[in-house]
Chain A
Amino acid sequence: MSEYLLKAVDISKAFVGVQALDAVSLDIRPGEIHCLAGENGCGKSTLIKIISGVYQQDAGYIEFNGKRFTRITPLEAIAMGIQVIYQDFSIFPNLTVMENLAFNTELAAGRRLVNKRRMRTVAEEALSKINFDIELDRLVGSLSVAEKQMVAICRALMFDAKLIIMDEPTTALTRKEVRALFEIILKLKEQGIAILFVSHKLNEVFEISERFTIFRSGKHIVSGNTSELDDRKFSYYMTGREFDAEPFRPRYEGGECVLEVENLAIEGAFEDVSFRLCRGEILGITGLLDSGRSELALALFGLRRSTGGRILVKGKEIAMGSPRDAIEAGIGYVPEDRLSEGLFLPRSIADNIVISEIDRLTGALSVLDFRRYRQEVEDWVRALSIATPDPENACSTLSGGNQQRVVLAKWLACKPDVLVLNGPTVGVDIGSKHDIHRILQRLANEGMAVIIISDDLPEVLQNCSHLLIMKDGRIVARPDPGSTDENTVLSHML
């Protein structure tokens, strides 16, 4: 038996036009918590998919438990004890929690018939492992993002796994849930299970992992013990550059008040929400899952109808019936879920950038002015340094961070007075995250009013000039971000 549980050696994989992995290696010891980090698009997910048999590598091999493979099928991987929690959860929205939980075990056991009672026991057992409480007969599609993720985690835990791979498991989790997850991970470690943990979040990496591996653009950069690592080194390895975080200081002078929200309410979601926002300010809104912050954002953007209160933009009351009303009033919205709400993935980057302002790029008879169109696209690609050889490429070819910039560009192109961002850096690497924060600060200083909805506390504390904390649909505190710390904010949220 070798020292390592898993050895991936010199793995290469190319997609049409991209070398996603270039002879990378990774090794994991039994019972170890290993962190795999790297910028968006550096090939982490691709390597995971190769290990789990979803993709086949072009070159290289994998050794698991001393056995050497050049090709693994998903069933083999599962049978050997490799479990993956994918970035997109890989759940079945149309099926019940029970089935989502039980399918993998049933398939791995080669069962051909369905036994409801057995499946129910299996599912209950899985939930009990992390004390997650949910009705087994609910359809997974009706769950919130976090609940979906919990289901995915439970599913992976059910196996007698030797290696559990978690591809950015914490992106949609709140702090409380992250804590619970870490406890589970430690418990698993005690049982001798190795964990491969993919994350962008520095504090998590330091908190949980023992060893780490960092990739950059498909190449292996470094592996080592986490104890020998610090913040600066970590970001340097990942990005190849160094940066200093700078807290936001509003610089825009004499900002008029652009957005006033008075006693806004949606029955069953939130009530009595009031605040004012001036040009040059960045307002942070934070709260736990289900605190109503997302509904608030949707209400501000006309995607949900409010049942009480009013919204005034530049002193004028606006009836928010549809997103178009909001856009015309000067509000932009960067949604929570890039993939299902933010981007037309198969369409070109250019189209994605201009679609919301497209009617401004037309002449008579709404004929597109292609010169202006190209100019506009070029401007935004440059302004937000979106990394692409050609803006005519499909948006799906971009990495997460660059995709988020495209969404940002789309809304900036509409020249909004107020920009609402819901989880602006979810699943975005530190390099891009830093850049996005810089962009938001710059925008505010140029006179835009920005609202950041996020539960990434360092993010809100560093970038906001004001802060609202929501709990159970109400605003419970309005601390000054400059003079509070994370623990105080947390105590308000819980």
Chain B
Amino acid sequence: MKKKFRKLISRTEFYIALVFLALCLLIQLRSGQFFTPNNIVDILSALVVPGIFAVGAFMVIISGGFDVSFPALASLTSFVTTKVLLDAGWQGGVWLPFLIALVLGALLGAFNGLFIGYFELPAMIVTLGSSSFFKGLMQGALNSKQLAVIPVGMRSFGTSALFVAKNVESGLTSRMPTTFLVLAGVLLVTWFLLNRTMFGRGIYAIGGNPVSAHRAGFNVRRTRFLLLVYVGMISALAGLCRVCMMQQMHPTNMLGMEMNVIAGVVLGGTAIIGGAGTLFGCMLGTGLIVLVENSMILIGIPTVWKDAFVGALIVIGTGISAFQVNRARRAGLRNVRKGAAL
């Protein structure tokens, strides 16, 4: 029991969860609105897109690299998907857009994967390059513009709701978007991949020690390649969800999300050198960032103070957890030693 507790307090997730809870209480205290059904649904629905992105970023960090290309990849794939279907006058369901986006995402992911897996280049360099490349391709070669109208299938999918949460007091309603299922699905599939398949364990193994992974018989190049393909696919899904939910395709408004998403992942206890981290922590960290960004008004922080507050929260939040985790690890080691000596 005591040992379990010690293990718990040596984990970043524990402190982030504490910060998360504290923040929820603060919001509740300041607005009385946090623990209302519609507010919780709102936060969850705001989590969908960053959440899916975070899963991809998380997997790449686990494998020992950084992916900064996912917003550009998502923008490019969702633009092409929407544009092609609009031009073709597609009136059918949402399955085709998802199919196209997945295929395109896999292709662009394979582009990244080729460089990262087979040419063994550092992921961060490659994705910095490919991010610019995708952006340029979309805005230059494809001459992208805002598409205010999207195919009906996507439209109805984006507005459809799993259920509607109602706040009895204020009468406000919030839709739980169907796209939340996409996040849930991605989480489920990814959890399965990471924990229940050798491919996923291979990603951890490569993040821990690529040379050993090669010797143990993991196909390092192929694993990295497939990882990037998979990340490309889920990023494309996120992009398409965003388009459906917003009811319009805007080519640039996802760009620039990468750093905040990565920050969320690292905040959730994922080791930046790779090999360590949990999907739960990843969601917790991302959730914290989403929560902060979407609760400024509820807390009552004036708009001018927003950036300062978020910045301070990142620094203080990570500071506390980094400090405590280091302390807990040191204390833990000493106690292990003590056990051995006696």
Q: Which residues of A contact B (CB under 8 A)?
A: 52, 54, 74-75, 78, 84, 86, 89-95, 99, 103-104, 106-108, 111-114, 142, 267-269, 290, 292, 472-473
Contact = CB atoms under 8 A, between A and B. Distances in A.
B201 interface: yes
Contacts of B205: 92, 95, 103
From B207, B214, B340, B341, name the one whose CB has the most chain A CB atoms within 10 angstroms.
Answer: B341
17 contacts: A54-B214, A74-B216, A90-B215, A92-B205, A93-B208, A94-B271, A94-B276, A95-B201, A95-B208, A103-B205, A107-B198, A112-B197, A112-B198, A114-B200, A114-B201, A142-B336, A268-B337
Contacts of B197: 112-114
Interface in B320-342: 333-338, 340-341
Nearest to A292: B341
Contacts of B208: 92-95
Nearest to A152: B212
A74 B199 CA distance: 17
Contact of B341 (A54, A142, A268): A268
B89 interface: no
A359 to B, nearest CB: 29
Contacts of A86: 215
Contacts of A95: 201, 204-205, 208, 275
A84 B205 CA distance: 18
Contacts of A91: 209, 212
B107 to A, nearest CB: 24
Interface string B291-313: 00000000000000000000000
B196 interface: yes
A89 B196 CA distance: 25
B86 interface: no
Which applies to chain B's interface (DSSP): helix, strand, loop or mixed? helix
Interface in B148-205: 195-201, 204-205
Interface in B248-289: 271, 274-276
Given A94-B271, A94-B276, 7 more contacts: A74-B215, A92-B209, A94-B208, A107-B198, A114-B197, A142-B336, A268-B335
B140 interface: no
A114 B196 contact: yes
A90 B196 contact: no
Contact of B216 (A103, A268, A269): A103
Contacts, number: 85
A269 B198 contact: no
A126 B276 CA distance: 25
A52 B211 CA distance: 13
Return the 3 tightest CB-CB contacts between A and B, nearest first. A94-B275, A94-B208, A90-B212
Contacts of B276: 94
Interface residues of B, number: 32
Interface of B: 195-201, 204-205, 207-209, 211-218, 271, 274-276, 333-338, 340-341
From A54, A91, A268, name the one whose CB has the most chain B CB atoms within 10 angstroms.
Answer: A268
A472 B196 contact: no
A92 B204 contact: yes
A268 B209 contact: no
From A92, A113, A269, name the one whose CB has the most chain B CB atoms within 10 angstroms.
Answer: A92
Contact of A106 (B198, B209, B211, B337): B198
B63 to A, nearest CB: 12
Contacts of B216: 74, 90, 103-104, 107
Given A94-B275, A95-B208, A111 B215 contact: no
A290 B195 CA distance: 34
A23 to B, nearest CB: 25
Nearest to A53: B215
B212 A111 contact: no
Nearest to B195: A114
Nearest to A92: B208
A473 B341 CA distance: 7
Nearest to B341: A473
A103 B223 CA distance: 15
Given A95-B205, A268-B341, A52 B198 contact: no
B7 to A, nearest CB: 10
Given A92-B208, A92-B212, A107 B217 contact: yes
Nearest to A137: B7
B200 to A, nearest CB: 8
A106 B200 CA distance: 13
B149 to A, nearest CB: 44
A112 to B, nearest CB: 6
Contacts of B341: 268-269, 290, 292, 472-473
A108 B198 CA distance: 11
Contacts of B333: 142
Contacts of B337: 268-269
A118 B275 CA distance: 23
Contact of B338 (A108, A112, A268): A268
Contacts of B204: 92, 94-95
Nearest to A138: B336
A94 B215 CA distance: 16
Contacts of B212: 89-92
Contact of A94 (B207, B217, B334, B335): B207
Contacts of B271: 94
Contacts of A74: 214-217
Nearest to A106: B198
A103 B208 CA distance: 14
A268 B337 CA distance: 6
Contacts of A114: 195-198, 200-201
Nearest to A79: B217
Nearest to B205: A92
Contacts of A472: 341
From B195, B198, B200, B218, name the one whose CB has the most chain A CB atoms within 10 angstroms.
Answer: B198
A331 to B, nearest CB: 24
A185 to B, nearest CB: 21
Given A95-B204, A268-B334, A52 B215 contact: yes
A108 to B, nearest CB: 6
A89 B211 CA distance: 11
A290 B340 contact: yes
Contacts of B335: 268
A363 B241 CA distance: 62
From A84, A95, A104, name the one whose CB has the most chain B CB atoms within 10 angstroms.
Answer: A95
A92 B215 CA distance: 11
A321 B16 CA distance: 32
A459 B201 CA distance: 43
A231 to B, nearest CB: 34
Contacts of B215: 52, 54, 74, 84, 86, 90
